[in-house]
Structure 1
Amino acid sequence: MMMEATYMPEAPARSAGRIPGSKGMWVGITCEFVEFTLMFLVYFVARLNYPEAFKKGPEAIWTTAGAINTVLMVTSSFFLACSVFAMRAGTMQRSRRWLIAAIVTALGYPLMKFYEIGWNLAHGIDGTAGIFYTVYYYLTLNHLLHACWGIGGMLWVLVRMSTNAYSAAQHDGLEALASYWHATDIIWLIIFSLFYVLA
């Protein structure tokens, strides 16, 4: 007996060479990369001048918190990519569910970050504890700000999605959001490597 094939809607054909999202968002992403490149230059200049401080610094901070935040960022990026794929396939409800999962996971990042900061302060690690921690707060708090913007963008896209503003053929807002969040995710992976892993 032949089994009935399950119907899976196909995503509409995308034009070759098309950039996902919008040009405005990519200008913003470029500015974000330039901004953090300058911050990373500050990190390397400080590391060059204070090698001992940067060698001992990671021993005091809460590495587990950094690892948890990394898992949260990567997981939310994956869920957001699934939302985009589902939208392209025309499965709107599935796209909305993936987006909600991305929001819930992403919200874990600032919550964990504030808990980490509280842990740091309880252990005497504030911005005056040394050059390593000054740079650490400078980069991680700036990244937290960008992540909160991204979470706000997710909530806005969810509202737009709930009003059927997007379709399989036109969902630039969702793609722009995903592009921004993936960029913010990449920056966090660099921050995690520099502060929590390298010694």
Structure 2
Amino acid sequence: MNTVLLLVGSWAVARGVVAAESLPQQKAARPVGAWLLVATLCGVGFLVSKGVEYAAKYRAGIDLDTNLFYTFYYSLTAFHAMHVVLGVVILTIVTVKAARGAYHMGATVGIETAASYWHMVDLVWLILFPLLYLLAIPA
């Protein structure tokens, strides 16, 4: 679920950038804002999902001190989640600006910068996911 949310969010950000690059100012606000809103909601969904996952582990008695695997698991995923929080803040700001018509053909620097950050966060997850969920076996 976490991976799907981040991938859909990255796709939506990319669609928002394409919309901004291809539409004149008077037509860009609605589609660009809509795509960015989808991406923002995906980021929020990721954070909710991660919170549910942490809560389930905590109820099961699993914390940072359980073993070395969970020390790394919590440290790496929490550090990533902090970056997702920042990404959601950035996407929220860019979404509001997009709704006001800030991004359109010839004016895309802000949305492209936000998209680059969001894609970086997504890429980091695509490295963490197999390391922590597929390859590693908790001791």
- Shared fold, TM over 0.5: yes
AA of the residue aligned to 2:9: S
The correspondence for 1:175, drawn from 95, 112, 116, is: 112
**Residues 1:193 and 2:130 aligned together:** yes
- Greater shift, 155-164 or 168-177, is seen at 155-164
User: What is the deviation of 1:171?
Assistant: 1.4
CA RMSD of aligned residues (A): 1.0
Give the distance between the partners of 1:79 and 1:145, measured in 2 at CA.
21
- 1:23-63 Cα offsets, whole Å, 9 max, x none, are xxxxxxxxxxxxxxxxxxxxxxxxxxxxxxxxxxxxxxxxx
What residue number does 1:24 align with?
Answer: none
Give the distance between the partners of 1:101 and 1:184, measured in 2 at CA.
16
**Residues 1:110 and 2:44 aligned together:** no
**Residues 1:128 and 2:61 aligned together:** no
- Greater shift, 164-173 or 126-135, is seen at 164-173
**Residues 1:156 and 2:89 aligned together:** no
Say if 2:91 and 2:114, in contact at 8 Å, map to a contact too: yes
What residue number does 1:89 align with?
Answer: 22
SS of the equivalent of 1:106 reads helix
Structure 2 regions of 5+ residues with no counterpart?
A: none
- 1:69-110 Cα offsets, whole Å, 9 max, x none, are 001001100011001001111141211111111111221000
AA of the residue aligned to 2:17: V
Give the distance between the partners of 2:32 and 2:14, measured in 1 at CA.
10
Q: What's the TM-score once normalised by structure 1's chain length?
A: 0.64
AA of the residue aligned to 1:106: G
User: What is the deviation of 1:167?
Assistant: 2.1
- The correspondence of residues 16-55 of structure 1 with structure 2, limited to 5 A, is none
The correspondence for 2:80, drawn from 127, 138, 143, is: 143
- Greater shift, 157-166 or 70-79, is seen at 157-166
SS of the equivalent of 1:129 reads coil
Identical aligned pairs, as a percentage? 36
Structure 1 regions of 5+ residues with no counterpart?
A: 1-67
User: What is the deviation of 1:165?
Assistant: 2.1
Q: For this pair of structures, how many residues does the alignment match?
A: 132
User: What is the deviation of 1:162?
Assistant: 2.4
AA of the residue aligned to 1:149: L
Larger radius of gyration: 1
Give the distance between the partners of 1:109 and 1:166, measured in 2 at CA.
26
AA of the residue aligned to 1:76: G
Q: What's the TM-score once normalised by structure 2's chain length?
A: 0.91
Which is helix-richer, 1 or 2? 2
Displaced runs of 4+ in structure 1, greater than 6 A? Answer: none
